[in-house]
Amino acid sequence: MRGFLLTAIALCAVFSSNGYADNFTVDKVYHPYVLPFEREFEWRLTSRQNDDGNVLMQRFSFGHALSEFMILETYLVGARDENEDFGLESYEVELRWMMTEQGRYWADWATLFELEKQHNTDDWEVKAGILTEKEFGQFSLTTNVSLVYEWGQTVENEWESEFKAKFRYRWIPEVQPGLEVYVAEDFIGVGPAFMGIKRFDRQKQLKWELGFIAGLNGDSKDHTLRMSLEYEF
């Protein structure tokens, strides 16, 4: 598994050297799991501070499982502009398909598909990714490898790639510390992250995540604070 992780990072770094991801934002590392017929509300926040200033983004989503293996989610994405005003940035539709039963094979697999449209411009982005998770006792390794295509009014038509990974220790359900890695065009970030799950009756559960990712790009300052809350029922 260590060899798989290093290979994925190396491949993504090679692919990324051909482009520039001016809109890349550190975000969640997706797990490949879907609860049967689940519904969920989610809120995410990312605050990235680098040499160009601060970029603050929030995502609000609602998801509904189409089957016991597939879930469809819709997002409204807000961002703060150069005038410090917060407004609607884009819309997203996301489909996640769990392809294997949990624990049946050496790793759990899923696919992820996203379509995003900018609110004020005719710019689009489509993404396809592979999600995996492997358990080693109380430890878990989660990886996301994605291919992205952008086109539209104000962006160049180009292919990009992204790699995300999380290595976590499942100490107790409510508190699970870990380490996250992000690789994209002209960006490599690493940092600590924490997540937890509070379970209630039946499928009802509340998930939380908090991470601090430091960019290793050579800039004097590049770090991202990310957090999220997700209620599944």
Can you give the residue ranges of every domain in the chain? 2-232
**Do 87 and 94 meet the contact criterion of CB atoms below 8 Å apart?**
no
User: 221 pLDDT band (50/70/90 cuts)?
Assistant: confident
Tens digit of each residue's pLDDT (9 = 90 or more) over 125-156: 999 999 999 999 999 999 999 999 999 999 99
Map tokens 């600590």 to a residue. 192
Of 154, 209, 206, 213, which is closest to residue 182 (Cα–Cα)? 213
Tens digit of each residue's pLDDT (9 = 90 or more) over 63-72: 999 999 999 9
Helical (H) or strand (E) element with 3:
helix 2-16
pTM of the prediction?
0.88
So what's the architecture of 2-232 in CATH?
Beta Barrel (2.40)
**Close Cβ partners of 29 (under 8 Å, ≥ 6 residues apart):** 142, 144, 164, 165, 166, 180
Can you give the pLDDT at residue 138? Answer: 96
Helical (H) or strand (E) element with 99:
none
Can you give the pLDDT at residue 83? Answer: 74
- Cα(185)–Cα(145) distance, integer angstroms: 13
User: 4 pLDDT band (50/70/90 cuts)?
Assistant: very low
- Tell me the percentage of the chain whose pLDDT exceeds 90: 76
**Do 178 and 158 meet the contact criterion of CB atoms below 8 Å apart?**
no
**Do 228 and 43 meet the contact criterion of CB atoms below 8 Å apart?**
yes
User: 50 pLDDT band (50/70/90 cuts)?
Assistant: confident
User: What's the DSSP call for residue 83?
Assistant: T
Which residue did the predictor score with more confidence, 220 or 154? 154
Tens digit of each residue's pLDDT (9 = 90 or more) over 92-126: 999 999 999 998 999 999 999 999 999 999 999 99
- Cα(69)–Cα(99) distance, integer angstroms: 7
Q: Fill in the amino acid letter for 73.
A: E
Tens digit of each residue's pLDDT (9 = 90 or more) over 180-197: 999 998 889 999 999 999
